[in-house]
Amino acid sequence: MSRIKVKIKEQDLTKIREICQAHNNEPGELINVLQQTQEHFGYLPAEIQEAVAQELGLPVAKVYGVVTFYSFFTMIPQGRYPISICTGTACYVRGADNVLQEFKRQLGIAVGETSEDGKFSLNCLRCVGACGLAPVVLVGDKTYGRVAPDGVKDILAEYQDKE
Amino acid sequence: MENVKLTIDNKQVEVPKGTTIYKAAKQVGIDIPVLCYMNLEDIGIENKPGGCRVCSVEVEGRKNLAPACATEVFDGMDVKTHTMRVINARRTVVEFILSDHPKDCLTCKKSGNCELQDLAVRLGIREIPGQEYAEMSTYKTDYSPSIVRELDKCIMCRRCESMCNDFQTVGALNAFNRGFDAAVAPAFEMDLQYSPCTYCGQCVAVCPTGALTEVDHSRDLIDAISDPNTTVVAQTAPAVRAALGEEFGQEPGTLVTGKMVSALRRLGFDYVFDTDFAADLTIMEEGTELLDRLKRHLDGDQDVKLPMLTSCCPAWVRFIEHHFPDMKDIPSSARSPQQMFGSIAKTYFADKIETKRENMVVVSIMPCLAKKYESQREEFSVEGNPDVDFSVSTRELAHLIREANFNLMDMPEEDFDRPMGESTGAGVIFGTTGGVIEAATRTAYEMHTGGNLDGNIDFEQLRGFEGIRKATVDFNGTPINIGIAHGLGNARKLLEAIRSGESEFHAIEIMACPGGCIGGGGQPLHHNDTTILKARQKAIYEEDKNKPIRKSHENPEIQTLYKEFLGEAMGEKAHELLHTNYFDISRKIEIS
Amino acid sequence: MGKIKSLEDLKKKKQDLQKKVDLREKADDAESYVQIKVGMATSGIASGAKEIYDFLVEALEKRNVEAVVTQAGDMGYSYAEPTIEVTKPGEEPVVFGYVTKDKADEIIERYIKRGELVDGILPQNYRTIDEE
Amino acid sequence: MTRYKMHLLVCGGTGCRASAADSITESLKESLQEHNLQDEVQVIMTGCFGFCEKGPIVKVLPDNTFYTEVKPDDTGEIVEEHLIKGRQVDRLLYEAPEGGKVKDSKHMDFYKKQIRIALRNCGFIDPENIDEYIARDGYFALGTVLSEMTPQQVIDQVKESGLRGRGGGGFPAGLKWEFAYKNQEQPKYVVCNADEGDPGAFMDRSILEGDPHAVLEAMAICGYATGADKGLIYIRAEYPLAIKRLKIAIEQAREYGMLGEGVFGTDFNFDVQLRYGAGAFVCGEETALIHSMEGERGEPTFKPPFPAESGYLGKPTNVNNVETYANVPVIINKGAGWFKKIGTEKSTGTKVFALAGKVNNVGLIEVPMGTTLREVIFEIGGGIKDGKKFKAVQTGGPSGGCLTEEHLDTPIDFDNLLAVGSMMGSGGMIVMDEDDCMVSVAKFFLEFTVEESCGKCAPCRVGNKRLHELLERITQGKAEKKDLQRLKNMCHVIADTSLCGLGQTAPSPVLSTMENFWNEYVAHVEDQRCPAGSCKDLMRYEIIPENCVGCTACARKCPVGAITGERKQVHEIDQDICIKCGACVDACKFDAVTIK
């Protein structure tokens, strides 16, 4: 009979312990812990969730249940240039869907996916509060306002040569 | 308690404040359909997510419909449970649920015993509009040694989640995803066998659909019996006889021991034995071990581990291996009755009938799903040949009996075969919470004091249904503190007390299921009625009372077994055949 | 920074802080204050409008006159610069020319505070700055 | 203390910051330094001005000059021309839709009809400076309450004001406080719901970004009134700026003794912590929000018990949203009577709306309850963009409905909106024009609900999915007339049986569009036609052979290679491949591509 082994890098485990301890290893702080953990690692792969579960004394199934409930958490590594398209109502009525379709087409990935080279990932989000600029696209922290489908190419080109 | 007066379907009802519409309606004989709702009153588990909305009723003055299972009554409330608005809503909601549910009722294991199917029948659902373009959830089926998960059939009633987390504190199952994609599964949707699941089967016991079912061995059984070169040996656990009758329309608590024996014989088993025999054997070993530990403890040995915990329940064993691996040396090393039986059957008994173990198939009939897994544990096999080949549940046996066109209740009363069919009342009570420790007490008391209990054999203080019970038995001046827990959540509390050094117990009995094996995951479904479990418990004690011999060490066949084959209890041979080790199978986070 | 221990403390603190947002609050409700516009076109600046502007802000504050001082472009009186336009609440605007610091002082003290007429009022040939 | 002669307010709301408000602030400061004006002119980054359409915005005080669409490069000119020479930079002034430059914000229609209570400090003070808040009478209400009023008096005052919850249902806030107050159990909690998730509403974010102390003060008042000593703000993690400003505000308030042990030197203790939401719309529902704060999946639970009976950690909890709290200090300072005079009888005070969509002036506005939709859309909003025709306005977000021309003169309040099949919701207001297909709009909202459903109850989990599927069929022209009846029935059952407000109101966009635009539904199912011309599946791009000269321009532009044809031959569009992107129409110089 053997144990289920979960492998994780030492420094990663140390970091998770640090975050959990900062929250007194309190199970009720799970969401705050996951926030910070994702902030550090960029995403929440299985082994990270296992470690968080262990530190907080929670079943890993519960941690997974929480991670999959909230759209902010992701188990897929984000691209170096995460693209988020606002699909709030204001952006929708000003044509966000066409912009989204164009991104999907140009990148060849679906929403929630990351391009093969790890460069771009594509996500939708609801209202960034910049309705005056609708439709709005975010690449990392940079905001692009009044984006039209034929502007998609130019946005991508900006990052194409960057590493 | 303050009372509230209300009207349900024009009937006046008076109920205590805080009662739900559902319960109030029940009092006046109005049956409101429910699906997700589950109230296991006797073990304090109420699953009331208000998720299925099948129990929706109309309440005068309220804008929308109210879920009867969760809505408390108030004075002057006017409830209508079956108006057209309600009927339409119920039907539409069940159509919704069915539109995301596979339509393989013909071959579904739950067919005929499925709450969703019953509901569809009751609500007269004949078609599902829009089914042709309705997207359906798809998941792969997960087969573990005990339990099959078909997540496509999950309707998010959350009953399994309640059992796994609230009652068992195992935490293998949890809701994941949200919206249409939500379902209940282990972390990362991994297979159950890689999760901390103990295979207690309580999720299966409460699942209203075919999403969680047992691994079915009835085909293996048919094959084994059909093979003329194989000697097929049955062992039947005590809790089976107290519940099998329910599958044939009998009142809960009807004992069907003799009829079950004759049915098994007619199905073609070569030998029909009793796990109770092995239970007596377990008491010999476990009782001896307890006395040994006690004696060393009283002599001041600091290394001795006390309390000693029972080890008959495979789900409980897996629980400690998973969740308390640091304490894996405190359960008794005695194997469970099922495994003791298998090991003796394939040695002692095989010799007797001059058969090789390869030509024998030992089948256990169990109230339990974890037994399926236990029989597959590597340490319980000899060169790949398992001591117990496979285990079938009470439900599977009932199916097979019906399939063979036997009406159980018309079967003659017959007795078990010998030698391994001889058992005592002590073996019988293994089927209920408190029974193992009572059986052990009967034997240990007499062994320790050298006296005779005579008529004072009923240790009432050890019986009952509360989750955790404590009692002190006077061993002739030595007070022995005994703890009993059923449900792994209750077990957890006792284990944590031991870990922190607060426990004053000498011996603790733990069973994973509500009420012990009588409430096992392989039993006829109780459909939320825990009084059924209590009736089974009563039947078990009745069977004990009716037995001519009620102490394990007085079982003549056991005495012969030691004399002819095993030698001493806890002796070398016994150690090899009847004891085991436990493993640390907890999840391990390793540095890579 | 010490803690505020009572409502009185807070009131005192507010008085000290009032000035921080004074300007904004007055701007929001300019009509109820004395409004002074200082002509600050290039010619105005050359003739010392900036100094007058600074002087007015400080002098008004010193004398506890609640007023809004703003800059304005060419007011159309380049011959008389520096010029300022003073509008008292509910009254017609009045424009003064050749404003020096002394003159400004006099305007505040006599025209604004006491409502007396002061020399140097330019003829009413202007349009209000708002309506150009 | 430096006495600044002029103030430059730079809008630091999210929208404006997204378009470089930070670098505008920086370069303004640099320019001032260059001209040695740093001691005379103060640059303050404030909260949202509301006029997001024309952001980034810089306002010059005291003369109220309102510069729009300012770019970092424009700052030099503002300093040199306006500040030094006193000449407004004309090209940056707002141009009214009817023409003409508007020099100061007080003359803009956008602001004329507004009364700002909840937004009183937004775009006015530096939200990162408690002193500016105090200078605006900040913490006076708290001080008054603690030194002069009993909890019951506070509750009575709030009840008397008629303040109703601004988050959705419009439950009277004072009553809620009273429930929590009467529950004897301790500890109690005061929770601020800042999990704004309505797509197209951002008022709560703007208040937190522009005036965080107002919320802290109100929570402390609520804590005193209900007997709670702990406050929690549940805020979306996607609101980093609001979080940052709240954190600063909490620190400053603690420093001043406005939070913490012994507030105002009394024996009242109250402190506030932040809890982060992680992107689940359903967490706007108070029971779901509480579960989320406890580290659980944000699934709602059946009420009762209400949070006032059993809330956070099973303790009495009062939950209000940001905007509701923001009104409280003003009510205490100015009195319930003053507040009641604003608005309508049953909906007192003002309401903040996020006006967006096909309207000229997109932005955040605060108007008295009872203002009509017409005033909001055509006066404040400046009418429909590009001179198109008004078709509908959607209020209440995914829980609300679409209202038409005939509702334009309906005074906006909680009850009126409900009566016409929509709701106030959190205050999203999306304007649509003749190009918007109402079936598609309903589908858009359903898509949102399906995505945000927690999955706990069957009607919402499965039912809304089925609704969405059927709407999809309708927009594809694959549905039949009898399906419309089924659609309606599904809507009613989902509304009737869902567990929480999310599910109960999810069908509203469908029901209201069916009610108001029935013909549009019928056109989709009977004639396979989309009257607004927006449903792609009901469109066909075809080449008119007579016009086609075979120039191949369209074939070269087609992104999916759906157009074939030899040079100088008539081309053809393969309907199975065509994705209806319209590139061919733009490419054709001979008007040979037509949309059917």
Residue D513 contacts residue D474 (beta carbons within 8 Å) = no
Per the model's pLDDT, the better-predicted residue between D31 and D198 turns out to be D31
Higher pLDDT pick, A35 / C52? A35
- With bands split at pLDDT 50, 70 and 90, how would you rate the model's confidence at D1? very low
Q: Do A3 and B173 touch (CB under 8 A)?
A: no
Task: Give residue B197's pLDDT.
Answer: 96
Q: Note whether D85 contacts C40, CB cutoff 8 Å.
A: yes
Catalytic residue among B60, B251, B358, B379: B379
- C-alpha dist (Å) from residue A148 to A129, B368, D335: 19, 63, 49
Whether B557 is a known active-site residue: answer no
Please name the fold of domain A81-160.
Answer: Glutaredoxin (3.40.30)
**Residue C131 — pLDDT band, cuts 50, 70, 90?**
very low
Question: Has residue D494 got a pLDDT over 90?
Answer: yes
CATH of the domain at C99: 3.40.30.10
Range of the domain at C117: 31-124
* Eight-state DSSP code of residue B331: B
Q: Is B379 a catalytic residue?
A: yes
Instruction: Give the range among A127-131, B167-171, D148-152, D516-520 with minimum mean pLDDT.
Output: A127-131
For residues B419-452, one letter each, b for 16 or more C-beta atoms within 10 angstroms of the residue's C-beta and e for the rest, the string is: bbbbbbbbbbbbbbbbbbbbbbbbbbbbbbeeee
Q: Do the beta carbons of residue A90 and residue D444 sit within 8 Å?
A: no
Catalytic entry in B36, B312, B368, B513:
B312
- Pairing type for strands B3-8 and B11-16 reads antiparallel
Kindly report which listed range (A86-90, B393-397, B522-526) carries the lowest average pLDDT score: A86-90
**3-state SS assignment for residue D389:** coil
Start-to-end CA distance of chain A, whole Å, equals 47
Model confidence band, residue D169 (pLDDT cutoffs 50, 70, 90): confident
Average confidence (pLDDT) over D567-582: 86
Q: Lowest-confidence range among A96-105, B146-155, C22-31, D176-185?
A: C22-31
pLDDT of residue C76: 63
C70 in a structural domain: yes
Residues D429 and D449 in one domain: no
B312 is catalytic: yes
Task: Domain ranges for chain B, please list them.
Answer: 3-82, 98-215, 219-578
What's the mean pLDDT in B255-282?
A: 97
D229 has pLDDT over 60 = yes
Mean pLDDT of D372-401: 91
Last residue of a domain, one of D417, D433, D449: D433
Domain extent listing, chain A: 10-67, 81-160
Give a yes or no: residue D405 inside a domain. yes
Q: State yes or no: pLDDT of D61 exceeds 90.
A: no
- Decide which of D62, D80, D112 is a domain's last residue: D112
User: How many independent structural domains does chain D possess?
Assistant: 5
Can you give the pLDDT at residue C130?
Answer: 45
CATH number of B3-82: 3.10.20.740
pLDDT at C129 over 50: no
One domain for residues D230 and D150: yes
Q: Which residue has the tokens 């002087």?
A: C55
Which DSSP string do the residues of B105-152 spell out, in sequence order? TTT-TTTTS-HHHHHHHHTT----TTGGG--------EE-SSEEE-GG
Interface of B with D in 166-195 (CB under 8 A): 175, 177-182
Instruction: Chain D: give the shortest CA distance to residue C3, in Å.
Output: 4
Angle between helices B84-99 and B115-122 (to 10 degrees): 140
The answer to whether residues D322 and D175 belong to one domain is yes
Outline where D335-457 has alpha helix (H). Answer: 336-341, 373-374, 414-419, 438-452
| Pairwise CA distance, residues D473 & D479, whole Å | 5
Q: Is B517 a catalytic residue?
A: yes
Domain shared by D183 and D275, yes or no: yes
Q: Is A143 on the interface with D (CB under 8 A)?
A: yes
Measure the N-to-C terminal CA separation of chain B; round to a whole number of Å: 61
Q: What is the mean pLDDT of chain C?
A: 76
Once rounded to an integer, what is the mean pLDDT over residues C76-91?
76
Pair B50, B41: CB distance under 8 Å: no
Who wins on pLDDT, D60 or B557?
Answer: B557
Please tell me which of D107-121, D467-481, D523-537 the model is most confident about, judged by mean pLDDT: D467-481
Q: How many CB atoms lie within 10 A of CB C119?
A: 10
Query: CA torsion angle for B36, A57, D313, A34 (degrees, to 10)?
Result: -90
Q: A-chain residues within 8 Å CB-CB of B584?
A: 3
Chains B and C touch (3+ CB pairs under 8 A): no
Predicted confidence (pLDDT) at residue C132 exceeds the cutoff of 90: no
Measured between its terminal Cα atoms, the distance across chain C in Å is 49
C54 occurs within a structural domain: yes
Q: Token pair of D417, please?
A: 């909106």
> Would you identify the CATH topology of the domain B219-578?
Rossmann fold (3.40.50)
d(CA B246, CA B252): 6
Across the interface, whether the CB atoms of B187 and A8 are under 8 A apart is answered no
Chains in contact with B, where contact means 3 or more Cβ–Cβ distances below 8 Å, are A, D
Both D102 and D207 in a single domain?
Answer: no
Domain boundary among D465, D498, D526: D526
CATH code for the structural domain at B98-215: 3.30.70.20
Say whether both D188 and D275 belong to one domain. yes
Tens digit of pLDDT for each residue in B220-241? Answer: 999 999 999 999 999 999 999 9
Answer whether A55's CB lies under 8 Å from A18's CB.
no
Q: Are residues D67 and D15 in the same domain?
A: yes
Q: Do chains D and A touch (3 or more CB pairs under 8 A)?
A: yes
Q: Is residue C24 part of a domain?
A: no
Residue D452 sits in a domain whose CATH number is 1.20.1440.230
The listed range with the strongest mean pLDDT (B97-106, D413-422, D440-449) is B97-106
In B476-553 the beta strands, taken as DSSP E runs, fall at 478-486, 507-511
Minimum distance, in Å, between the CA of residue B490 and any CA atom of chain A: 17
Distances, alpha carbon B52 to alpha carbons B47, D329, D487, in Å: 12, 43, 20
In contact, D491 and D470? CB cutoff 8 Å? no
Residues of C in contact with D3 (CB under 8 A): 19, 57-58, 61
- For residues D175 and D230, membership in a common domain is answered with yes
Boundaries of domain holding D456:
438-526
Shared-domain flag, residues D162 and D106: no
Is there a contact between D292 and D277 (Cβ–Cβ < 8 Å)? Answer: yes
Contact list in B for residue A58 (CB cut-off 8 A) is 171
Q: How many domains does chain C have?
A: 1
| Neighbour tally for B578: CB within 10 Å | 24
Place of tokens 């061993």: B475
The structure's pTM equals 0.90
ipTM confidence score: 0.90
Indicate whether D172 and D193 sit together in one domain: yes
